[in-house]
């Protein structure tokens, strides 16, 4: 199993551009999550999903959108990128309690 995979690893965006961060898991987990981690800080939940077709907001959803059309994929969309969205983004999945994290995407908005 590859576990949780994320693409791209790194990205630089200009202010106002849009992009999609990809997340895929091959463990047949129902629950998937998107977090952001700012330097020297903990992880903050952006959006989560309890299954295909069901998504809900986390602590910091503004400026982001998600969709969950399949069990495996949970893409995160950034519209009109802003410098405040410079961060490391982690995707995670779980079957019940334990969450498994992807390797992260380091995003810089300038």
Partner 1 sequence: GENVEQHPSTLSVQEGDSAVIKCTYSDSASNYFPWYKQELGKRPQLIIDIRSNVGEKKDQRIAVTLNKTAKHFSLHITETQPEDSAVYFCAAMEGGGNKLTFGTGTQLKVEL
Cβ nearer to partner 1, comparing 33 with 109: 33
In the three-class reduction of DSSP (H, G, I as helix; E, B as strand; rest coil), residue 109 is classed as: strand
Query: Quick one: which segment of 11-19, 60-68, 70-78, 88-96 binds partner 1 (CB under 8 A)?
Result: 88-96
Quote the CA–CA distance of 47 and 44 in Å, as a whole number: 10
E strand or H helix at 44 = strand 43-51
- Can you name the residues that pair with 107 across neighbouring β-strands? 11, 87
Quote the CA–CA distance of 34 and 82 in Å, as a whole number: 18
Query: By CB under 8 A, is residue 109 in contact with partner 1?
Result: no
Cβ(89)–Cβ(70) under 8 Å?
A: no
Identify which of 44, 36, 39 has the alpha carbon closest to the alpha carbon of residue 90: 36
In the complex, minimum distance from the CB of residue 42 to partner 1, in angstroms, rounded to a whole number: 4
Query: By CB under 8 A, is residue 96 in contact with partner 1?
Result: yes
- Each residue 32-71 as x (binds partner 1 by CB under 8 A) or -, in order, gives -x------xxxxxx--x-x-------xx------------
Query: By CB under 8 A, is residue 97 in contact with partner 1?
Result: yes
Catalog residues that contact partner 1 under the rule CB under 8 A.
Answer: 31, 33, 40-45, 48, 50, 58-59, 90, 94, 96-104
């Amino acid at each position: 199993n590859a576990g949780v995979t994320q693409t791209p690893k790194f990205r630089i965006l200009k202010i106002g551009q849009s992009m999609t961060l990809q997340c895929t898991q091959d463990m047949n987990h129902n629950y998937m999550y998107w977090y952001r981690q700012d330097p020297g800080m903990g992880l903050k939940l952006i959006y989560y999903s309890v299954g295909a077709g069901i998504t809900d907001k986390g602590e910091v959803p503004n400026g982001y959108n998600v969709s969950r059309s399949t069990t495996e994929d949970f893409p995160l969309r950034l519209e009109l990128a802003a410098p405040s969205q410079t961060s490391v983004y982690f995707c995670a999945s779980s079957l019940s309690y334990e969450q498994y994290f992807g390797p992260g995407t380091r995003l810089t908005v300038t």
